[in-house]
Structure 1
Amino acid sequence: MIDAATDRDLEPYTVSVPDAELAELRERLRAARLPDELPDASWRDGMLPAELRSLRHEWADSFDWRAVEAMLNAETQWLTTIDGTGVHCLDVRSGRPGAVPLLLLHGWPSSVAEFRSVWGPLTAPENGSVAFDAVVPSLPGFGFSGPTRERGWDADRMADAMAVLMSRLGHERFVVHGGDVGSEVATALSRRHPERVIGLHLNLGGTRGAGEHRAEPPANEAQRRAFGQYDAYRANGSAYAAIQATRPQTVAFALTDSPVGLLAWIAEKFREWADPAHPVTGADILTAASIYWFTGTVGSSARFYQESFAGWAAPGAAVTVPVAVCAYPFDIVTPVREWAEGSYDIVQWRDLPDGGHFPALETPHHLIDSVRAFAAALT
């Protein structure tokens, strides 16, 4: 329940990291003590040492944070207080009559910058496509929203905060898109405020569906592949989630103090969960790492797993608003339509030929085309 007494109206926001903080980051990177490494080190061991050294060198010596600031500050940004915590957003208006409000929700270890190749084409299409007014918030506890400072910021509470944010921006009804953590919040928003949501668009990771059905024999090749991906993830790729869900404070000490540790923690995921044919660039990885570093939110973002982990273990009530899903072959687990139909009213499903867990960075054209087609069919 949102506490109106702790709320505050929208205030203009500008990203501006002091020169002293940039200098301190570079000093920490250059002075970092790195671990030993095996001669046959592989991704099965975790972040590759050679890859980490290369990223560290780029972050310390050539990465242009001021260009990131300029990119973000080219758009209207707001900071407000909702239910006692800061909520930041980019407010990218189309200026076209009849533009469809669109809420874009990032995941972990992502940020608002992940949508940088998406909001331009969606708000200013070159042809007769649907135009959008895009709202791109930093989820509570993530990035420029700053750290949350109390318990209870699960997907439901974040969803309620997003509903308030959209009202403050003048959008009573809207389309919402989410991936990763953003898909959990977008789904909760659609369940809790269905009268507000025109349609729900997801790059729906299939981890939950595969987990719910794992005891069943696969009925087709899509299910067989999903089970294989799920087993591999559980065996070799899920330790980060277990740590963040059970001991977020412990890992926060290391990641808040060491930029190299933070970089290794999130860069591994950007590399592992992306389509090898469309890797996330070093600049995009360093953009995300910089945002978590300068805002001090790696700990509070990890706490989301602690708040929501129990909810991920079981399906929630079915979503009744129209739903579109993009299924990417290199996601952690590629979703299976018949499993998803138990929880969502799916009116558009796209099995895409390429792409992974970060479609706005890897294959933004697929995401743009899918959102446009979905909105055109609904409005």
Structure 2
Amino acid sequence: MDEDAMVRPFRIGVPGPDLDDLRRRLATVRLPRELDETSWSRGVTVEAMGELLVRWRDGYDWRAEEAELNRFPQVVTEVDGQRLHAVHRPSPRQDAHPLVLLHGWPSTVAEFRYVIDELAEPDDPARPAFHVVVPSLPGFGFSGPLREGGWGAHRMARAIDELLRRLGINRYLAHGGDAGYQVAAALGRVAPERVAGVHLNLGGVGLAGRHRTDEPADEQEALALRRYAEYVQDGSAYALLNATRPQTVAYGLADSPIGQLAWIAEKFMAWADAASPVAQDDVLTTASIYWFTETAASSARFYGEEYTPNRPPGTGPALERTYVDVPTAVSSFPGEIVPPIRRWAEEHYRIVRWTEHPAGGHFSALERPDLLVEALRGFAAQVAPSVA
């Protein structure tokens, strides 16, 4: 086998000098001055950032977080010229279903840390179990910075499908949220013979009716359109900057840990359900991974590949409009940026299961891991006969 195609064991190990450099930078942070207005209407408040800074500098323990993440077996390989990292947590159960979990932006594999063990080895033997694979999307986290452009959702899907082949997985379920939902959906398009089902929390705005011209059928659809309009008006600037000028914003993110933290902490705070906020240390772990892996710029490039004409051949709008004809389940969480609408989703996916959850938001695996686990178990039980 080509050495680049080999799947090798991997452990996270941030060099000591890199950790010392972060501590030095955090010790000399200069926070901006703030006007009398202290609401979140203009971004993360100085008070909130000050609390995160103190925790990151004085209380947060990266080595403990690193050891916790290293509890999970991990692998690394090279696919299509790009390094690809993944958690690979096999289940001891013979009847377990292969399941790939796909994060989005501004997340990492750490988003799924609270669901991996429960999915792989449930306490109740009557519940479905899973061989869990959690890739770092190309250009994100431990998959390292991108080596070239052109890494949109469909190229990522092909690379992840190849990783699964190398792990000996022939048929599997896929789950994704945010950018991960686009990659999970793309798996259903590019490898339908291998994907037994796709589970999505539509953690974005792609199905929020942005291209619709018909009138909303009910109040739920009207609410989705209003929420989408609010997002475009007051919450989408980050996406436009990521899509059009990722290199410009990268200078501040690559050189300033507090800049990196602010850029993503706002999303963890704004997109989570108020009833289930993301814990401070989970935000700091995510910021630390982006910082140590220097993937602020390359992860942002996903927006340019998906939301602008700069797309490689074979991954453009025509393919993206292709109907996903594998069984698809949707989890709808009330704190999501825009609530998904089943009628609209059915235009794009073969929906076989739709769950309205009582709590949770954009980062369901961090906010309400119990609900996400149960949703995945229910979907697996429904499609289990088709999973080898």
Q: TM-score range by the shorter chain?
A: over 0.9
* Equivalent of 1:112 in 101, 109, 114: 109
Q: Could you say which residue in structure 2 is the equivalent of 1:331?
A: 336
Structure 2, unmatched stretches of 5+, are 310-315
1:63–1:283: 8 Å Cα contact kept in structure 2?
Answer: yes
1:298-332 CA distance string (max 9 Å, x none): 11000111111148988611100000000111111
Q: Could you say which residue in structure 1 is the equivalent of 2:63?
A: 66
1:158-206 CA distance string (max 9 Å, x none): 0000000000111010000000010011111110100010100000136
Letter in 1 for 2:265: A
Q: Could you say which residue in structure 1 is the equivalent of 2:233?
A: 235
Question: Post-superposition shift, 1:85?
Answer: 0.8
Distance 1:185 1:103 in 2: 11
1:64-84 CA distance string (max 9 Å, x none): 111111111112111111111
Q: Could you say which residue in structure 2 is the equivalent of 1:189?
A: 187
Q: What does residue range 174-213 of structure 1 map to in structure 2 within 5 Å?
A: 174-205=172-203, 207-213=205-211
Question: Post-superposition shift, 1:214?
Answer: 4.5
Q: What does residue range 153-172 of structure 1 map to in structure 2 within 5 Å?
A: 153-172=151-170
Question: 1:361 and 2:366 equivalent?
Answer: yes
Runs of 4+ in 1 over 4 A off after TM superposition: 311-315
Distance 2:136 2:198 in 1: 19
1:241-266 CA distance string (max 9 Å, x none): 00000001100111111000000000
* Equivalent of 2:140 in 136, 139, 142: 142
* Equivalent of 2:324 in 319, 335, 356: 319
Aligned length: 376
Q: Could you say which residue in structure 2 is the equivalent of 1:267?
A: 265
* Equivalent of 1:279 in 272, 277, 280: 277
* Equivalent of 2:47 in 23, 45, 50: 50
Give the 3-state SS of the residue equivalent to 2:207 in structure 1. helix
1:110–1:288: 8 Å Cα contact kept in structure 2?
Answer: yes
* Equivalent of 1:378 in 377, 383, 388: 383
Question: Post-superposition shift, 1:294?
Answer: 0.3
2:271–2:337: 8 Å Cα contact kept in structure 1?
Answer: yes
Distance 2:293 2:183 in 1: 21
Question: 1:19 and 2:16 equivalent?
Answer: yes
Aligned-pair identity (%): 52
Give the 3-state SS of the residue equivalent to 1:321 in structure 2. strand
The two structures have a TM-score, normalised by structure 2, of 0.94
Q: Could you say which residue in structure 2 is the equivalent of 1:97?
A: 94
1:140–1:153: 8 Å Cα contact kept in structure 2?
Answer: yes
Distance 2:281 2:85 in 1: 22
Q: Could you say which residue in structure 1 is the equivalent of 2:73?
A: 76
Letter in 2 for 1:244: N
2:100–2:172: 8 Å Cα contact kept in structure 1?
Answer: yes
Question: Post-superposition shift, 1:210?
Answer: 2.1
Distance 1:290 1:65 in 2: 8
Mean alpha-carbon deviation: is it higher for 233-242 or for 307-316?
A: 307-316
The two structures have a TM-score, normalised by structure 1, of 0.96
Question: 1:348 and 2:340 equivalent?
Answer: no
Distance 1:353 1:206 in 2: 19
2:210–2:228: 8 Å Cα contact kept in structure 1?
Answer: no
Distance 1:249 1:329 in 2: 34
Q: Could you say which residue in structure 1 is the equivalent of 2:84?
A: 87
1:7–1:83: 8 Å Cα contact kept in structure 2?
Answer: no
* Equivalent of 2:171 in 170, 173, 180: 173
Calculate the aligned-residue CA RMSD, in Å.
1.5
1:24-68 CA distance string (max 9 Å, x none): 101111211221101222111001110001101111111111111
1:206–1:334: 8 Å Cα contact kept in structure 2?
Answer: no
Q: Could you say which residue in structure 1 is the equivalent of 2:313?
A: none
1:99-142 CA distance string (max 9 Å, x none): 10000000100010110111111101111101100001101000
Distance 1:354 1:98 in 2: 31
Question: Post-superposition shift, 1:352?
Answer: 1.2
Q: Could you say which residue in structure 2 is the equivalent of 1:251?
A: 249
Give the 3-state SS of the residue equivalent to 1:57 in structure 2. helix
Give the 3-state SS of the residue equivalent to 2:60 in structure 1. coil
Question: Post-superposition shift, 1:143?
Answer: 0.2
Question: Post-superposition shift, 1:361?
Answer: 0.4
* Equivalent of 1:294 in 268, 292, 295: 292
1:92–1:134: 8 Å Cα contact kept in structure 2?
Answer: yes
Give the 3-state SS of the residue equivalent to 1:210 in structure 2. coil
2:332–2:339: 8 Å Cα contact kept in structure 1?
Answer: yes
